Amino acid sequence: SENRDREINPEEFLKQLAQKEPSTDYLADFLKQKNRVNFKLKKFKTKDDSLEIRIAKNTDKAVPVKLETQTRDGERKSYWVETAENERLKTVNLPAENIYKITLNDDYIFPEANYRDNFLYTKGLFSNSKKIKFKLIKDIPNPEFNEIYLNPRIRFSNTYDKFLIGMNFKNQSLFDQKFLYSITPSFSTGTGKLTGSGAVEYSFLPAESMIQSLTFGISGSYFHYDYDLAYQKASLYSSIRFRKNPRSTVSRGASFSYNYFQRDLNAKMIAEQDYERYNLWTLGYGFSDNQMIHEKSFSISTQGMQDFNKITAEAFYRWEFAPRQKLSLRLFGGYFARNETRNNTFDYGISRVSDYSFSYNLLGQSATGGILSQQFVLADGGFKSFIPGTVNQWITSFNVDTSVWKIFHIYADAGIYKNKNNPTQFIWDSGVKVRVIPDFLEIYFPVQSSLGFEPGFKDYGKRIRYTLILNLSTIINAARRGWY
Contact by Cβ (8 Å): 417, 424: yes
Boundary residue ending a domain (129, 157, 176): 129
Is residue 184 predicted with pLDDT exceeding 90?
Answer: yes
Residue 290 backbone dihedrals phi, psi, to 5 degrees: -90, 55
CA dihedral angle for residue 380, residue 386, residue 392, residue 398, rounded to 10 degrees: -40
For residues 198 and 64, membership in a common domain is answered with no
For residues 23 and 155, membership in a common domain is answered with no
pLDDT of residue 5: 65
Could you tell me the CA-to-CA distances from 337 to 88, 287, 302, 424 in Å, in that order?
A: 51, 24, 10, 17
Nearest CA to 192 out of 161, 222, 223, 168 is that of: 161
Within a domain: 122: yes
Within a domain: 3: no
Boundary residue ending a domain (72, 107, 129): 129
Within a domain: 93: yes
% of the chain beyond a pLDDT of 90: 58
d(CA 200, CA 217): 6
Boundary residue ending a domain (129, 164, 189): 129
For residues 17 and 99, membership in a common domain is answered with yes
As for how many domains the chain has, the answer is 2
Residue 152 backbone dihedrals phi, psi, to 5 degrees: -60, 140
Within a domain: 2: no
Within a domain: 279: yes
The CATH number that applies at residue 66 is 2.60.40
Could you tell me the CA-to-CA distances from 407 to 52, 240, 442, 482 in Å, in that order?
A: 69, 38, 9, 12
Tell me the pLDDT tens digit for each residue of 12-66. 665 665 555 555 556 666 666 666 788 888 888 888 788 888 988 888 888 888 8
State the first-to-last Cα distance of the chain, in angstroms, to the nearest integer.
64
The CATH number that applies at residue 392 is 2.40.160
For residues 63 and 143, membership in a common domain is answered with no
Within a domain: 316: yes
For residues 84 and 210, membership in a common domain is answered with no
Contact by Cβ (8 Å): 444, 466: yes
Within a domain: 386: yes
For residues 337 and 431, membership in a common domain is answered with yes
E strand spans, 419-471: 425-437, 441-449, 452-453, 465-468
Q: What is the mean pLDDT of residues 357-371?
A: 91
Which element (helix H / strand E) includes 405? Answer: strand 394-405
d(CA 225, CA 365): 6
Give the range of the structural domain holding residue 299, as residue numbers without chain letter.
Answer: 137-481
pLDDT of residue 329: 98
For residues 89 and 188, membership in a common domain is answered with no
Nearest CA to 430 out of 414, 406, 415 is that of: 414
For residues 165 and 232, membership in a common domain is answered with yes
pTM for the full predicted model? 0.85
For residues 104 and 240, membership in a common domain is answered with no
For residues 172 and 195, membership in a common domain is answered with yes
For residues 71 and 144, membership in a common domain is answered with no
pLDDT of residue 57: 86
- The residues pairing with 185 across neighbouring beta strands, listed in sequence order, are 196
Residues 6+ apart with CB under 8 A from 379: 349, 353, 360
Is residue 74 predicted with pLDDT exceeding 80?
Answer: yes
For residues 391 and 440, membership in a common domain is answered with yes
Within a domain: 107: yes
Contact by Cβ (8 Å): 319, 327: yes
Instruction: Tell me which of 15-19, 73-77, 479-483 is least confident.
Output: 479-483
182 or 34: which leads in pLDDT: 182
Local confidence band at 97 (pLDDT 50, 70, 90 cut-offs): confident
